[in-house]
Structure 1
Amino acid sequence: MTVTEPAPSRAPVPPLAARARGVGGSPVREILAVTARPEVINFAGGLPAPELFDQDGIAAAFREVLELTPAQALQYSTTEGEPALRTALAARVTAQGLPTAPDDLLVTTGSQQALSLLATALIEPGDTVLVESPCYLAALQVFALAGARVVSVPGDEDGVDPAALEEAVLRERPKLLYLVPTFQNPTGRTMPAPRRRAVAAVAARQGVWIVEDDPYGELRYDGERVPWIAAHPGAEDRVVLLGSLSKVMAPGLRLGWLRAPAELRRACAVAKQAADLHTPTVNQLAAARYLDVLDTHVARVRAVYGERRDAMLAALPDALPEGSVWTRPEGGMFLWARLPDPYDTTALLPQVVRQDVAYVPGAPFYAADPDRSTLRLCFVTQTPDEIQEGLRRLGRGLAAR
C-alpha cells in the first residue's frame, strides 16, 4: 500500500513593501523590449550611437590601468570615489565655470544612482518634490519609490516659471526641486541664463534644495554654453549638480558624479556605502585616464549628432500631421512634438510599431494631467538616411489612424 504524505501547510510570504507595490516599471524600457527587432527604427530609446564609442581609446585606458596599477584597479576603493577621477572631474567642472575641489564630488554608479542617493538622504515618505512638466520619467520613478508627493510647476518653452515656482514653494513647502535645465529630457529645451538666475533666487529666498541634473550639457550643436544654476549667487549652499560620462564616453561604464554641500554629500556617501560600497575601481581609473582625450572625442560626437538632429528637423514637417508643433533643441538627444487634437500617442503607438518604427508617448513624462498628444523622439542613434526612412514610416503609421 502506498502512503501519501500530506502536503505541508504553506503560509503566504510577507508582502512587498508598499513603495514597491505602488511603483510600476519604466514605460521606455517596456517599449524598448517590444521594439528590439532589428528592422525597427527606434526613436524611443535614449541611447548614444554605439558606432561612435571610442573603443580603441577606452580599451587603451583600461590596458594602461591594468598593466601599470593592477593591484589598485582590481581592489576595493573608497566610497567617495578614486582620487584620480575626482581630481580630473573637479578640474573639468572648474574649467566650465564652477570652482570645484575633488572633495566636493562623490562618484556614483551613473547619475541615476545619484538621484537615488539623494532621495535616500533627503526624502521622507510624504515629502513634496517639485518637478518640471514634463519631467524625466526615471526621476519620477525615483521620487515615487521614495514615497514622495510629486507636484509639477507650470512653465513655458524656457522651463519652469519663477513666479509659479515661488508660489508652489510657499504653498507646498517642498523638500527639493528637480530640474534638467540644459537640453531637457524629454523636451530638449534649455533654460536661459536670466531664468536660471531667477530660479536660484527663489531657492535662496525660500530655502529649498535644487537638484540640477546635467547629463547632456556637453552635447551642444548651436549657441553658447549657459552657466549652471549652481554657479549663480545664492545657489552655493543649496544646489546639487549631477553629471555623467554615459552620454559622452560610454553608458556601460556606469560613471556619474554629484557635487553637493558637505553635509548632504556625506549623507549620500553613507547611502552609497549601503547600496554598493563604491563604483567599480577599474572603471574609475580608466575614465580618469580617458578624460585627457575626452574633448577630442566629444567634438567628433557633436558633429555627427548635430547632423542627425538637422536631418530629423528637416523631415518632420512631412511626417507629422498638419497642426503639429515641435521643439528645435540646441543640443542633447531629444526633441518633443505635440500633435493636434484628438491624436493620442499612447493609443497610436501599436499601429505605428507595425510600420517598424517607434517613439515614446509623452504621457509617462507627466507627474499629473498628461498631454496625450505629445511624443518624444531621440535623434542620435540613427543615421540621417535611417532618420528619413523612420519618419516616413512614422507618417504612414500616424495617417493609418
Structure 2
Amino acid sequence: MRHMSATQVARLVQVGPAARPYYRALADGLRALIMDGQIPVRVRMPAERHLAETLRVSRTTVTAAYDLLRERGYLDSRQGSGSWTALPDPATTADNPWLGTDGDGLLQIQCAAPPAPSALDEAVREAVEDLPRYGMGNGYDPMGLPVLRERVAARYTERGVATRPEQILVTTGSQHAIQLVLGLLVGAGDPVLVESPTYPHAIDAARQRGARLVPVGVSHGGWQEDLVTGAMRRPGARLAYLMPDFQNPTGALMEDATRAAVVGEARRAGTILLVDETWSELALDEVPRTSPMAAFDTDSRVISIGSASKLWWGGLRIGWVRATAALARRLATARAAVDIASPVLEQLVVARLFDRMEETRAERRRTLRASRDALVAALGEHLPEWTFTVPRGGGTLWVRLDGPGATPLAEAAAHHGVRLAPGPWFGLEGTLESHLRLPYTQPPPVMADVVARIRAARDHGPTGARRPSESLIPMV
C-alpha cells in the first residue's frame, strides 16, 4: 500500500468529539496508528482538505495535527508529493523524553541517575585542597590525571583483570568514551551489533558514524548465547556494544560461561567488543560472582568502559576506557578534536571517591533496594496487569504493558506531571512499543507517587477524561 484515502484513515483513527484540543488528540491517534503498524511507514497520507471533510472538522484542525506530526518526525512532507508517514530519529525528535529538564516541573523518571551520595561533600573538600598542587601545570592531560588512572587500574586488578595505569584513558563521561571508541574504530557501513533493548545514546553514536546496526535480543532472562554469537558471525560485525552487568534497561546479568563464549566467538569472527560496565558495581541482592569480560580476553579485543555517574554522581561527568596502552594513546590523540582533556577538579573528586567505594556501594544498595521495592509494590497494587522481572542489580525496571502503547502513555503521563522514557527509545525502528523503562533511582515516596500518576494517565489519558471501559482504583 502506497497511499491511504481519507475514508481509510478516518475509519482507523478514533478521537472522541469532546477531545480538547482536538488537533492534538488527532495527532496522537494518528501517531499511535503509525507506531502500531496499522498505518504503514512510507505511505502517503490523505490531503489535509480531504481528511478534514471526512472527519467533519476544519481544515485548520487537520493542518495543525499534521504540523505536530511533522515536528515529531512521524510525517515527512515533500513539495508536490504530499505527506508521507515516517518514524522519528530518536536523537532529534521534539518529543524525545531525554530532552526534558527539571525546569519543566515534571518528575524526571526518564533518567536512570541517582542523586549524589553522602560521601561527595567530603570528597569535594579534599579535592579542592589537592587542586593547588596541579595549578603549576596547564591543566590539560588528555590521558587523565595519573592519580585517577591509578585508582581505576587498581579497581580492575581487584576485580581479576590485571591492569596498568597506562591502559586507562579518563573521559568526560561514559557517553564520551563510546563516541571516542566508535569514532576511531567504526566507519560508514560497518556492521555494529547492539542489544535490543539497549542504551539509546549508543545507538545514536553508531548512527552518527553511519554504521549498519545489527540488533540481538536480550530479555530479563539474559542473552541467548547462540543468537549473540550468530549475530556477530553472519554480518561479520566490526564491533559489538554489550552491557553484561545489570544491562540497561532489562537489569540482566550475563553468566561467566556466556561471557567466555561471546569473547571466544568475537575472537573467531574478528569482532571488537565494547563492554559497558557502568552498572557493574551496583548489585542489590546476592548474585553469582562474575568476572569482567576482559578476563576472558586473550588477544586485546575487549575494550571496557566505566563511569562515575551511577555509583557516585552524574554531575561529575567522569568516565574511563580500559584498553591496550597503545589504543588508549590513540584515543587520547583522537579526543583533541572534542574536548582535549577532562576537568581536573572532577577527576580529583572521583579519585577521592574511589577511596570510599565500599561505603558508597553500601549506601547505594540500601537506597536503591528500598526504591526498587517501593516501585515493585506500587506497580503490584495499581497496575497488576503489567509484567516484569525484578532485577538483582542496576537501577531500572523493564516493564511490559498491557496496553495502550508506551509512547502515547508517556505523553499522557506528562500531563500528569511525570516524564517517562517509552520502550521505542531503547530499540531500533520504532520497536518495543509494548515496554516502558522505569528507573528506581528516586526515593520510595517519589516512586509510589510516580506509579499513581502513571495509573491516572493510563485511565484518564492526557485530558483527564475517564475511559468508560475501565474502573479507577482509588490512589492515596
Q: What TM-score do you get using the length of structure 2 for normalisation?
A: 0.73
- 2:113 aligns to what? 47
Residue 252 of structure 1 and its aligned partner are, at CA, apart by 1.8
Residue 388 of structure 1 and its aligned partner are, at CA, apart by 1.2
Q: Please give the per-residue CA displacement for 1:365-391, whole angstroms capped at 9, x wherever unaligned.
A: 11246021100001112x212211221
Residue 265 of structure 1 and its aligned partner are, at CA, apart by 2.4
8 Å contact from structure 2 (residues 307, 320) kept in 1? yes
Between the aligned partners of 2:94 and 2:359, the Cα distance in structure 1 is: 31
Deviates more, 1:112-121 or 1:215-224: 215-224
Deviates more, 1:268-277 or 1:371-380: 268-277
Residue 146 of structure 1 and its aligned partner are, at CA, apart by 0.9
Between the aligned partners of 1:163 and 1:36, the Cα distance in structure 2 is: 43
Q: Which runs of structure 2 are paired with 1:201-220 in the superposition (5 Å)?
A: 201-220=264-283
- 2:164 aligns to what? 101
- 2:192 aligns to what? 129
Q: 1:397 aligns with which of 441, 453, 457?
A: 457
Aligned pair in 2 of structure 1 residues 194, 123: CA closer, same or farther (>3 Å)? same
- 1:273 aligns to what? 336
Q: Which runs of structure 2 are paired with 1:53-72 in the superposition (5 Å)?
A: 53-67=118-132, 69-72=133-136
Matched, 1:145 2:223: no
Q: Please give the per-residue CA displacement for 1:306-349, whole angstroms capped at 9, x wherever unaligned.
A: 11111111211223252x21131111111100112x42110122
- 1:289 aligns to what? 352
Aligned pair in 2 of structure 1 residues 23, 270: CA closer, same or farther (>3 Å)? farther
Aligned pair in 2 of structure 1 residues 63, 270: CA closer, same or farther (>3 Å)? closer
Residue 172 of structure 1 and its aligned partner are, at CA, apart by 0.8
Q: 1:309 aligns with which of 347, 372, 381?
A: 372
Q: Percent identity?
A: 34
- 1:9 aligns to what? none
Between the aligned partners of 1:235 and 1:129, the Cα distance in structure 2 is: 22
Q: Please give the per-residue CA displacement for 1:80-125, whole angstroms capped at 9, x wherever unaligned.
A: 1111111111111111121111111111111111101111110111
8 Å contact from structure 2 (residues 195, 215) kept in 1? yes
Structure 1 unaligned spans of 5+: 1-21
- 1:226 aligns to what? 290
Residue 230 of structure 1 and its aligned partner are, at CA, apart by 1.3
Structure 2 unaligned spans of 5+: 1-87, 462-476
Between the aligned partners of 1:163 and 1:28, the Cα distance in structure 2 is: 38
Residue 162 of structure 1 and its aligned partner are, at CA, apart by 2.2
- The CA RMSD over aligned residues, in Å, is 2.3
Q: Please give the per-residue CA displacement for 1:260-281, whole angstroms capped at 9, x wherever unaligned.
A: 1244323212211222211122
Residue 247 of structure 1 and its aligned partner are, at CA, apart by 1.5
Q: Which runs of structure 2 are paired with 1:149-164 in the superposition (5 Å)?
A: 149-164=212-227
Q: 2:391 aligns with which of 326, 329, 350?
A: 329
Aligned pair in 2 of structure 1 residues 128, 230: CA closer, same or farther (>3 Å)? same
Aligned pair in 2 of structure 1 residues 157, 290: CA closer, same or farther (>3 Å)? closer
Between the aligned partners of 2:374 and 2:261, the Cα distance in structure 1 is: 35
**Which structure has the greater CA radius of gyration?**
2
Between the aligned partners of 2:283 and 2:320, the Cα distance in structure 1 is: 20
Give the SS at the match of 2:408: helix
Q: 1:346 aligns with which of 397, 407, 415?
A: 407
Residue 250 of structure 1 and its aligned partner are, at CA, apart by 2.2
8 Å contact from structure 1 (residues 135, 367) kept in 2? no
Aligned pair in 2 of structure 1 residues 55, 27: CA closer, same or farther (>3 Å)? farther
Deviates more, 1:89-98 or 1:27-36: 27-36
